[in-house]
Structures are given as C-alpha cells and as structure tokens.
Amino acid sequence: MYFVYIMTNRSKTLYIGVTNNLMRRVREHKTGAGSGFTSKYKLDRLVYFERFEDVHNAIEREKRIKGWLRIKKIADRFSQSVLERFERGVV
C-alpha cells in the first residue's frame, strides 16, 4: 500500500509526498527527520492523504497535485470546514 499525503505547518506551507508507511513518515516530518525541507519548515500537521495499491499511480497523483496552484490544492481537497480551520491555522 502507498500513500500520497499533504503536510502543513503553522505558516500553512504545503508539502506533498509519497510513502509506503504513512504513520512513520508523519512521525519523521513531526520530528524533523528525513528531509531538509521537513526540518526547515517544521511540518507538523497531516491534512490529507489518499491510498494506492500501485506505487506508479501514487507517484502520478503526487505529480498532478504538485502541479496545482496553491489555492486549488486547498479548495479541491478540503471541505469548507477543514478549509476554514486550515486558514485559521487550526488544522
């Protein structure tokens, strides 16, 4: 099983990634392990994920999401209540 996921932080920086172990990867983001981007931006909130059986499909989806404009990433993926919480920095 593979996951495409979106993480954020208090500044609402978005990070989109692919992993085969979502819980481990979220923990790595929260502790600053795994990438320079992660430790620089202190990503600490998982705001979205999708499951995939095939890694190629997951990577294809990740690339599509990364190509969206920031507002489209938020609006297309989150319900209004989640979007409102995201904008307030609660998510």
Question: Half-sphere exposure of 70 toward its Cβ, with a 13 Å CA cutoff?
Answer: 7
**pTM of the predicted protein model:** 0.75
Domain 2-88's class? Answer: alpha beta
| pLDDT for the residue 73 | 62
Residue 91 pLDDT grade (very low, low, confident, very high; cuts 50, 70, 90): very low
Helix ranges (DSSP H) in the chain: 22-31, 36-41, 55-67, 70-77, 80-88
CA 55, 56, 61, 64 torsion: positive or negative? positive
pLDDT digits over 31-88, tens only?
A: 888 778 877 888 888 988 999 999 999 999 999 888 876 656 665 565 555 556 555 6
Q: Residue with structure tokens 């969206």?
A: 68
Give the model's pLDDT for residue 33: 80
Spans of all domains in the chain: 2-88
